[in-house]
Structure 1
Amino acid sequence: MLDQLRAVRTEFIQRVSDSVLNQLLDKLLDRGVIRDEEMESARAKSRAEKARDVIDSVRRKGSEASSFLIAALCQLDPCVSRELSLR
């Protein structure tokens, strides 16, 4: 999963919407993948910086966190998930 996110990082940053990013942050926080401080820091950034922050911080947390991000993205934005070939 880490390699999969690394491979789509640039496309993810370009394509994911701000509303999907905010929903992903909520899900990541609820699941315990990120802390409150990480969520607040990401929310204060521009859309592209927020996307970069989300994907990079989740990748650093390992395979389980990366798998959760991919599953959440597939649920929240099936179109972008398909375009990125994430399953």
Structure 2
Amino acid sequence: MLRAVRAEFIQRVSDTVLNQLLDKLLERGVFSDEEMKSARTKSTADKARDVIDSVIGKGNEASSFMISAFCQLDKCVSRELSLR
């Protein structure tokens, strides 16, 4: 599911939502401290690209968690991307 919306996610997600998403991914253990710190140093588009690509690479459970967290953080964009 994430792979199908990757390009649009990268274009549309805000930096504020990405930072909140990173916090949730860290809390859940999907991301390590190092991965989070590395992502936070990048521009919004590069950060979004790193986050979604890393989560996709971590499998279905990580992807499902990211989708759920993203839907909570940005109801409008997640709805427009048809994420549930």
Whether TM exceeds 0.5 here: the answer is: yes
The runs of 4+ residues in structure 1 deviating greater than 6 Å are none
- Identity percentage of aligned residues: 80
Q: How many residues are paired up?
A: 84
TM-score by length of 2: 0.99
Distance 2:50 2:77 in 1: 18
TM-score by length of 1: 0.96
Aligned-residue CA RMSD in angstroms?
A: 0.3
Q: Deviations over 1:24-74 (max 9, x none)?
A: 000000000000000000000000000000000000000000000000000
* Structure 2 unpaired stretches of 5+: none
Which residue of 2 is the match for residue 5 of structure 1?
Answer: 2
Q: Secondary structure at the match of 2:3?
A: helix
